[in-house]
């Protein structure tokens, strides 16, 4: 009987749970005590969480002599959460009018200091990054790769892939998990049973997918304050001097204790879930098949029907395979270009030269070209990829129109997607979503190792 039970448990598809904390409130000192209590309470339960820390938060720990907090968090995984979080300009604000490459350099200039401080304090590179609020921008992917950060972990609507982790811009994205993002409401003990049920439903949903990932996130400051520290000070572009910063209103001691009680009871429920593994962002990478692998022979031809991810390979992976370029991450193009070649066919020697030129471009720049030149005319990247994928060899090459189906993975409507209390009213950076669509050449599901 026991053997049968074990066999049944082993046959269950695996479910992984990530618990993370945006550790950011550098204004209210008692949020440090909350972080400490969470870190210790979880350690006692054998749960390792991921604390995404703001650079300024780490600086105030040093200024306040909170080495106890730093030590307690060191038992968990450490991620990064920008230099100042909500002091304007937020990342999406200063990146909205920049390109991919200059934007990545600017993000590095503004935000790298905090990451270097965390490296010094904790002795290793933070495992992940997530944006403040929903201030997401595609340029950050390039900077994070350069810093050695491998995971983008957060929750917002700009990009997603079927409510499970995915690869995008060369990073593992644990992001936009939809019904697989669950939380227990900290203010209402009566809602605890419903929160446990929501977790169980997310587990069942992940198992139905054949295995999957669930995430839960909080901010330590939620256990001690009733309003967010940044909304109180930096709403809609407000930029008061440091001496004018207001402390957020505090919970009563009873409400604080209740919030801890609810949380740990909920965590205990999660821990008791059979065949569930609790992982950190740093451990998450190893759960998935490697980012860069060679697609099976013939798969790249599917680009002729649809420019999209196919069987776990991105459109960029498949295009590289058609070009004979070894598997590697490459970024998407910088700009959207239109086809200017207006004949139905291309002489084969002209097309062959264009293909060799595209392969050389990819190897030299580490990204896809905006367009591929045929003498002084060109094919858009979409049309080039579709044409190449459909080509059977022989005589002149028939031009095909490509349609970038992968762009459906990018959210629509910047006003809604960037609606965060810290951004200025009416902030709607459509330019970032357009750049995100161009970078969606690289999007593909992250597939769990079997």
Select 24 or 111, whichever has its Cβ closest to Zn ion: 24
* Least distance (Å) between residue 81 CB and Zn ion: 6
**Cβ atoms within 10 A of the Cβ of 123, count?**
9
* Least distance (Å) between residue 364 CB and Zn ion: 38
| 194: nearest Cα among 206, 185, 181 | 185
Select 404 or 422, whichever has its Cβ closest to Zn ion: 422
Rounded to the nearest angstrom, the gap between the alpha carbon of residue 280 and the centroid of all alpha carbons in its chain is 14
φ and ψ of 331, to 5 deg: -75, 165
* Least distance (Å) between residue 176 CB and Zn ion: 16
| 384: nearest Cα among 331, 339, 326, 447 | 339
Select 51 or 147, whichever has its Cβ closest to Zn ion: 51
* Least distance (Å) between residue 108 CB and Zn ion: 20
* Least distance (Å) between residue 115 CB and Zn ion: 15
**How many residues in the shown chain lie near Zn ion by CB under 5 A?**
3
Q: Quick check: bond before 205 cis, omega within 30?
A: no
Rounded to the nearest angstrom, the gap between the alpha carbon of residue 298 and the centroid of all alpha carbons in its chain is 30
* Least distance (Å) between residue 190 CB and Zn ion: 28
**Cβ atoms within 10 A of the Cβ of 311, count?**
12
CA distance 204 to 200: 6
**Angle (CA) 290 119 48, round 5°:** 65
For residue 295, give the DSSP letter. P
CA dihedral 440, 442, 448, 450 (to 10 degrees): 140
Select 24 or 391, whichever has its Cβ closest to Zn ion: 24
Strand partners of residue 15: 212, 276
Select 132 or 402, whichever has its Cβ closest to Zn ion: 132
Q: How many residues does the chain have?
A: 450
| 439: nearest Cα among 140, 54, 51 | 140
Residues 131-170, one symbol each (x = binds Zn ion by CB under 5 A, - = not), give -x--------------------------------------
CA distance 442 to 318: 10
Of residues 210 through 269, those in contact with Zn ion by CB under 5 A are none
* Least distance (Å) between residue 325 CB and Zn ion: 38
* Least distance (Å) between residue 24 CB and Zn ion: 5
CA distance 284 to 295: 23
* Least distance (Å) between residue 156 CB and Zn ion: 11
Residue with tokens 């690869």: 167
Select 132 or 211, whichever has its Cβ closest to Zn ion: 132
User: Does 83 interact with Zn ion (rule: CB under 5 A)?
Assistant: no
| 225: nearest Cα among 24, 388, 421, 398 | 24
* Least distance (Å) between residue 82 CB and Zn ion: 8
CA distance 320 to 332: 12
CA distance 59 to 80: 13
Select 135 or 280, whichever has its Cβ closest to Zn ion: 135
Of residues 116 through 135, those in contact with Zn ion by CB under 5 A are 132
φ and ψ of 270, to 5 deg: -60, -45
* Least distance (Å) between residue 85 CB and Zn ion: 6
Select 82 or 314, whichever has its Cβ closest to Zn ion: 82
Q: Are 117 and 58 in contact (CB under 8 A)?
A: yes
Select 25 or 391, whichever has its Cβ closest to Zn ion: 25
Select 153 or 300, whichever has its Cβ closest to Zn ion: 153
Select 14 or 248, whichever has its Cβ closest to Zn ion: 248
* Least distance (Å) between residue 22 CB and Zn ion: 4
Stretch that binds Zn ion, among 14-22, 33-41, 43-51, 88-96 (CB under 5 A): 14-22
Return all residues near 37 (Cβ < 8 A) that are at least 6 apart.
Answer: 223, 260
- The residue number with the shortest CB distance to Zn ion is 22
φ and ψ of 296, to 5 deg: -60, 150
Stretch that binds Zn ion, among 16-24, 58-66, 299-307, 438-446 (CB under 5 A): 16-24
Residues 17-36, one symbol each (x = binds Zn ion by CB under 5 A, - = not), give -----x-x------------
Return all residues near 232 (Cβ < 8 A) that are at least 6 apart.
Answer: 246, 247, 248, 249
Select 130 or 369, whichever has its Cβ closest to Zn ion: 130
Stretch that binds Zn ion, among 15-23, 60-68, 167-175, 377-385 (CB under 5 A): 15-23
Would you tell me which residues interact with Zn ion (CB under 5 A)? 22, 24, 132
């Amino acid at each position: 009987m026991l053997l049968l039970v074990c066999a049944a448990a082993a046959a269950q598809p695996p479910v992984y749970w990530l618990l993370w904390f945006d550790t950011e409130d550098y204004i209210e000192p008692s949020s440090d005590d909350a972080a400490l209590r969470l870190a210790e309470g979880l350690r006692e339960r054998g749960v390792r969480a991921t604390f995404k820390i703001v650079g300024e938060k780490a600086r105030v720990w040093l200024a306040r002599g909170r080495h106890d907090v730093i030590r307690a968090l060191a038992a968990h995984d450490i991620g990064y959460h920008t230099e100042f979080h909500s002091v304007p300009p937020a990342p999406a604000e200063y990146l909205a009018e920049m390109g991919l490459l200059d934007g990545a350099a600017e993000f590095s200039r503004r935000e790298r200091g905090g990451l270097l401080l965390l490296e010094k304090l904790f002795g290793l590179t933070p495992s992940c990054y997530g944006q403040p609020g929903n201030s997401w921008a595609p340029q950050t992917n390039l900077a994070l790769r350069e810093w050695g950060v491998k995971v983008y972990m957060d929750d917002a609507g700009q990009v997603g892939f079927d409510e499970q982790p995915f690869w995008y811009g060369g990073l593992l994205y644990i992001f936009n998990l939809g019904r697989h993002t669950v939380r227990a409401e900290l203010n209402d003990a009566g809602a605890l049973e419903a929160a446990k049920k929501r977790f169980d439903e997310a587990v069942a949903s992940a198992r139905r997918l054949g295995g999957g990932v669930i995430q839960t996130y909080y901010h330590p400051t939620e256990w001690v304050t009733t309003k967010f520290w940044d909304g109180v000070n930096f709403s809609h572009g407000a930029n008061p001097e440091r001496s004018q910063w207001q402390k957020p209103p505090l919970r009563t001691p009873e409400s604080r204790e209740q919030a801890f009680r609810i949380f740990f009871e909920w965590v205990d429920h999660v821990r008791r879930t059979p065949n569930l593994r609790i992982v950190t962002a740093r451990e998450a990478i190893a759960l998935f098949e490697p980012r860069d692998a060679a697609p099976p022979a013939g798969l790249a031809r599917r680009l002729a029907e649809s420019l999209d991810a196919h069987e776990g390979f991105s459109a960029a992976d498949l295009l590289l395979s058609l070009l004979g370029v070894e598997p590697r991450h490459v970024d998407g193009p910088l700009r959207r270009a239109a086809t200017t070649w207006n004949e139905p066919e291309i002489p084969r020697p002209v097309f062959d030269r264009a293909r060799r030129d595209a392969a050389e471009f990819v190897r030299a720049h580490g990204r896809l070209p905006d367009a591929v030149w045929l003498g002084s005319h060109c094919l858009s990247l979409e049309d080039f990829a579709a044409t190449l994928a459909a080509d059977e060899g022989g005589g002149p090459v028939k031009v095909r129109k490509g349609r970038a189906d992968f762009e459906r993975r990018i959210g629509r409507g910047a006003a809604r997607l960037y609606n965060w209390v810290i951004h200025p009213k009416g902030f709607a950076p459509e330019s970032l979503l357009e750049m995100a669509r161009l970078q969606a050449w690289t999007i593909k599901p992250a597939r769990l190792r079997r």
